[in-house]
A = this chain, B = another copy of it.
């Protein structure tokens, strides 16, 4: 059984890498860009290169699913890189392949706002995938960079799922029917992603949870059970959105970047602008065992629990991270 978390953005440290090992986490998809330019994103790869040297007994870079097996064999956690916004490619489609070569495996087509490629979930209007968006989807398909629509608007997400020749992902969100947050996904969105072979990762971010930080493990696991029953257990995993040890300035950067001189509270509010507290049963990488137990308690059998805890993501990575070996210039 693999244990894979398909989204974290912690304030990385030896402590957190050690907790990944204590929690037996085989692989983590980490965000390295929210609003960063290409050059700033390269500096983030460099920051990780230094950590891979310094903590080589704890972590290693992951570019293929097979790297996760190499990480397990050597008692390490495999680190997968992703962007929550297409800002790293700027307006240059060639940077898709460059960034894939550097290790990127997920890229969101938009983050809350309109991007060059797609619409974000906070915009009033969603005109769908743009002209450049269609080109970039094709290029991402070609090189093996997974389309992630976690922060995108509904129409854009459904169009991306349909336009993409390879399955796409919502790495971190929950069903809107369980908790009607703006970032949680409506039925037709989840259906479009899963019917095209895609994956969704269940989020443990309090704003995505029914009752917020007071959400119970039982409620979360029952939601997983209901969702798996509706769309099929094969299409789901965990994408915890864990933002451990981050100062509140980081959630402000995530929400505001450089797109406004003002303030945007996103899922927070003027009275609660910072990171919300985590639910008591999930505060760091050592807590994945609780979810595993909780999933068993709501009726999943052993294989289903394994699928949800990481096997589904492993299969998806194995199918998604490598280039397609075909001529892709014919358009």
Contact = CB atoms under 8 A, between A and B. Distances in A.
Given A101-B103, A102-B102, A103-B101, A94 B49 contact: yes
A101 B329 CA distance: 24
Interface centre among A97, A103, A327 (most CB of B within 10 A): A97
Contact of A327 (B43, B53, B102): B53
Interface in A278-331: 327-329
A49 B102 contact: no
A56 interface: yes
A94 B49 CA distance: 8
A72 to B, nearest CB: 19
Interface in A46-94: 46, 49-50, 53-54, 56, 92, 94
A151 B47 CA distance: 32
A1 interface: no
A59 to B, nearest CB: 14
Interface string A14-47: 0000000000000000000000001100110110
Question: From DSSP, what is the main secondary structure of chain A's interface residues?
Answer: helix
A46 B93 CA distance: 10
Contact of A54 (B46, B56, B329): B329
Interface of A: 38-39, 42-43, 45-46, 49-50, 53-54, 56, 92, 94-95, 97-98, 101-103, 327-329
A133 to B, nearest CB: 20
Given A39-B38, A39-B39, A102-B102, A97 B54 contact: no
A62 to B, nearest CB: 14
A127 to B, nearest CB: 29
Contacts of A39: 38-39
A58 to B, nearest CB: 13
A50 B94 contact: yes
A56 B327 contact: yes
A324 to B, nearest CB: 12
B328 A97 contact: no
Contacts of A329: 53-54
Contacts of A95: 42, 46
B46 A98 contact: yes
27 contacts: A38-B39, A38-B42, A39-B39, A42-B95, A42-B98, A43-B94, A45-B98, A45-B101, A46-B92, A46-B94, A46-B95, A46-B97, A46-B98, A49-B94, A49-B97, A49-B98, A50-B94, A53-B327, A53-B328, A53-B329, A54-B329, A56-B327, A98-B102, A101-B101, A101-B102, A101-B103, A102-B102
A54 B42 CA distance: 27
Contacts of A92: 46
Nearest to A52: B97
A326 to B, nearest CB: 10
A143 to B, nearest CB: 9
A240 B6 CA distance: 49
A310 B15 CA distance: 49
